[in-house]
């Protein structure tokens, strides 16, 4: 084999290792530097038959050698709303529980198994705010983590703009407060829950200047 391709191959391999290393410690494209702890890292036994097992492919999946149970690590999907009133104000919910207790959040939540994300969004708005909303347009998505702990779950957060069909604003138990915010009154990033809210709200504000 000629020398040059071999050297290129070695350089590529080293480059890949460096990228893996940087990615492992989240030095690429993230403000926070945290070690990644995937959702399967703490799975020591098969949840179906109890056989001891090791996560495969760097924690991406498990496959039980005894019963064949398979599971793939993934980001958990959520659906949230940029719910606007007649004056163009946005509805935010202040979180009553950890993670990020006391911070402002776009209303929404985790999807149920098999649930259409727009149905999940409507369900969450009824549960959190007693509002029946209509999702209008898909706005954005953000991959994030559910809190600052090393083993915080990865989330895939989906956002729709929404209008209110009916209902009277009323906060649920897991919401400390609900409030409509005009564009220029929106809380600063430090008062917003998670990273995804700041990103989505910042984009919405830029597009409605
Ligand atoms: Zn098993």
Strands 108-110 and 70-72: unpaired
Question: Would you give per-residue pLDDT tens digits along the chain (209 residues)?
Answer: 444 444 444 445 555 454 444 444 443 334 444 446 788 988 899 999 999 999 899 889 999 999 999 999 999 999 999 999 999 999 999 999 999 999 999 999 999 999 999 999 999 999 999 999 999 999 999 999 998 888 889 999 999 999 999 999 999 888 999 999 999 999 999 999 998 999 999 999 999 87
User: Could you tell me the distance, in angstroms and rounded to a whole number, from the CA of residue 74 to the centre of ligand 1?
Assistant: 20
pTM here?
0.79
Fold of 76-207: Nucleoside Triphosphate Pyrophosphohydrolase (3.90.79)
User: Could you tell me the distance, in angstroms and rounded to a whole number, from the CA of residue 113 to the centre of ligand 1?
Assistant: 22
The rounded distance, in Å, linking the Cα atoms of 158 and 129 is 19
User: Could you tell me the distance, in angstroms and rounded to a whole number, from the CA of residue 48 to the centre of ligand 1?
Assistant: 5
User: Could you tell me the distance, in angstroms and rounded to a whole number, from the CA of residue 156 to the centre of ligand 1?
Assistant: 28
Q: Is residue 64 within 8 Å of 51, Cβ to Cβ? A: yes
The structural domains of the chain, with segments of one domain joined by +, span 1-34, 37-73, 76-207
| Half-sphere exposure for 163 (CA within 13 Å, toward CB) | 6
User: Could you tell me the distance, in angstroms and rounded to a whole number, from the CA of residue 160 to the centre of ligand 1?
Assistant: 39
Helix (H) or strand (E) holding 162: strand 154-167
User: Could you tell me the distance, in angstroms and rounded to a whole number, from the CA of residue 46 to the centre of ligand 1?
Assistant: 5
């Amino acid at each position: 084999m000629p020398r040059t391709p071999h050297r290129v191959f070695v350089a590529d391999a080293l480059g890949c290792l460096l990228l893996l290393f940087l990615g492992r410690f989240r030095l690429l494209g993230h403000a926070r530097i945290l070690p990644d702890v995937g959702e399967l890292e703490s799975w020591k036994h098969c949840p179906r038959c109890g056989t001891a097992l090791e996560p495969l492919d760097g924690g991406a999946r498990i496959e039980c050698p005894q019963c064949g149970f398979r599971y793939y690590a993934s980001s958990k999907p959520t659906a949230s709303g940029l719910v606007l009133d007649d004056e163009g104000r946005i509805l935010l919910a202040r979180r009553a529980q950890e993670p990020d207790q006391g911070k402002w959040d776009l209303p929404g939540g985790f999807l149920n198994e098999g649930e259409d994300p727009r149905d999940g969004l409507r369900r969450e708005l009824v549960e959190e705010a007693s509002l029946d909303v209509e999702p209008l347009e898909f706005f954005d998505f953000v991959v994030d983590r559910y809190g600052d702990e090393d083993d915080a779950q990865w989330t895939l957060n989906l956002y729709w703009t929404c209008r209110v069909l009916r209902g009277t604003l009323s906060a649920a138990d897991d919401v400390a407060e609900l409030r409509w915010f005009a564009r220029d009154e929106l809380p600063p990033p430090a008062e917003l829950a998670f990273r995804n809210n700041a990103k989505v709200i910042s984009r919405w504000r830029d597009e409605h200047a």
